[in-house]
Chain A
Amino acid sequence: MKLRTMAMLGGQALRSLRKTPALTSIMVVMACMVAVSVFAVFAVNLTAIGRQLQSQVQIRVFLDQNAAAPDKEALGLSIKALPGVTKVEYVSKDEALSRLRLQMGDSGFFLVDLEHNPLPDSFDVSLAHAEDARAVAGEVWKLKGISDVIYGQKWVDNLVGALRVLWGITGAVACLALVGASLIVSNTIRLSVFARRKEIEIMKLVGATDGFILLPFVMEGLVIGIAGSFAATALVAAGYVGLVTWVKSVASFIPIIGDPIHMRLAVIGTVAFGAAAGLAGSAISVRRYLKV
């Protein structure tokens, strides 16, 4: 198709936008995209926080007090060999007590009067993925010379579950937004097809190709999708930049994502999502109402 023709069809699409309630459609698409963006922002940031917390998840393996010293070394090697284990650190009962004293601080006064150290020797086991904690703990239990295995099981499970739910909700919102935005774009295109039905009929009769007839409507849907998502991106980005600035000044330990690469990717993703919704909407109407 010639460049001049493309320009002409683009002009037709823009003229058509003025005749249909395109602004309403753009606003609705914007609202849908804002919903998706907000959920995506939450999900991405909570995932980042979750990853950071997960990296700190450890399994603590307490040893049977009766186990002899050489067994401890073999046990440590056995644990290290388990899949998903990245690091195994031996913590002697004395070291455990001094750590406890350090943790308790002033509240640990009663530890001074202990006649003997009641704490067992242990291993601190680091994992590649927090969600492997339950499986690794199960494997550790099978080894001999273990008196107890503890890890933040419930906490880890809850975190992994919560992140899954959040991503699920984000996916559902994205699907609903895609459907909603597509339907509103589709409705606008339907009106546009109706407004130009006479022109379309003549085009068909004088031998315009299907592509020539369809393209302005596809462009129209695309423009609505991109405009709506672009407006949504601007709105959410402005709010998010403010949030990042505030969080960094008030609670800098929260790992909120604020680097430009992530931001650019988010903008491109949202606009592409809006464009997809626009195209889908055009396709629905063009297929249903424009029998070429």
Chain B
Amino acid sequence: MVKMYGVTRVYAGGVQALRGVNLSIDKGEFVFVVGPSGAGKSTLLAMIYRGTVPTRGQVWVAGRNIARLRWHEVPLLRRRIGIVFQDFKLLPDRSVYDNVAFALEVIEVSRRDIAKRVPMALDMVGLAHKAQAMPDELAGGEQQRVAIARAIVNDPFIVIADEPTGNLDPDTSMDIMNLLCDINMRGTTVIMATHNQLVVDRLRRRVVQLDEGAVVRDELRGGYCGEA
């Protein structure tokens, strides 16, 4: 599903975000990527949806070397990946329904399909009753649910979540985590970068820990801080 071979990413100015990362994530896995700020978590996630490309090494996603993708193939890859961010990235002038539908409109899905798939996604995240609400009328957790609905509406094979609970209180964070677990239970791979010790320790899933761009721990049912 996702394979990284000796991936190094050096940004302009010489900052090394990743150093020789080797990683293999199978279909249906739930993986936490943990580590301090600046450890390279977001860069690692961005490699998967080709938000960036490796300076050295290779990243393979669904059998394709992402550095070798042609420009017109990148959107096709992203259509198969759902992405969730800490700041939700919702359009403030569109309703909940329209925000989710937007992800389908821009990839030219037919109106009939949009009308069928958007309510299903909203139902999945428990927001069917707020379809016509505007984002600023929703609480933080609800806004993140809308972002998750948008990420899954195109039925992706992988969901990438970059600190999705970063702006949420512990209870709401657990709600969001339960939602991501439900999505994972349906066979979708979930890769999530987080600082949230509570959710990592409670869920006990695979944990990949980064420090200064290098993988320092890869534990199958790990906690936030490891065995030590």
Contact = CB atoms under 8 A, between A and B. Distances in A.
Interface of A: 1-2, 4-5, 8, 198-199, 201-210, 212
Interface stretch (B75-83, B175-183, B210-218): B75-83
A204 B78 contact: yes
B4 interface: no
Contacts of A4: 111
10 contacts: A2-B108, A198-B91, A202-B102, A204-B75, A205-B83, A206-B83, A207-B107, A209-B75, A210-B72, A212-B106
B105 interface: yes
Contacts of B102: 202, 206
Given A198-B91, A199-B91, A201-B89, A206 B108 contact: no
Given A8-B105, A199-B91, A206 B154 contact: yes
Contact of A202 (B71, B75, B79, B89): B89
B103 interface: yes
Contact of A206 (B71, B78, B111): B78
B196 to A, nearest CB: 22
Contacts of A203: 106
Given A207-B79, A209-B75, A202 B91 contact: yes
Nearest to A210: B71
A269 B145 CA distance: 54
A212 B74 CA distance: 14
Interface of B: 49, 71-72, 75-80, 83, 89, 91, 102-103, 105-108, 111, 150, 154
A4 B150 CA distance: 22
Nearest to A196: B91
B89 A198 contact: yes
B89 A207 contact: no
B157 to A, nearest CB: 13
Contact of B108 (A1, A199, A204, A210): A1
Contacts of A209: 72, 75
Query: Which residue of B83, B102, B106 has the most chain A CB atoms within 10 A of its CB atom?
Result: B106
A207 B91 contact: no
Contacts of B71: 210
Nearest to A4: B111
Contacts of A206: 78-79, 83, 102-103, 106-107, 150, 154
Given A5-B108, A206-B106, A207-B75, 9 more contacts: A8-B105, A198-B91, A202-B89, A204-B75, A205-B78, A206-B154, A207-B79, A209-B72, A212-B108
Contacts of A8: 105
Contacts of B91: 198-199, 202
B78 A207 contact: yes
A211 B19 CA distance: 35
Given A1-B108, A212-B106, A205 B79 contact: no
A168 to B, nearest CB: 42
B76 A207 contact: yes
B75 A208 contact: yes
Contacts of B75: 204, 207-210
Contacts of B80: 207
Query: Which residue of A1, A199, A209, A212 has the most chain B CB atoms within 10 A of its CB atom?
Result: A209
A236 B111 CA distance: 46
Nearest to A201: B89
Contacts of B105: 8
A202 B80 CA distance: 14
Contact of B77 (A199, A207, A208, A210): A207
B49 A205 contact: yes
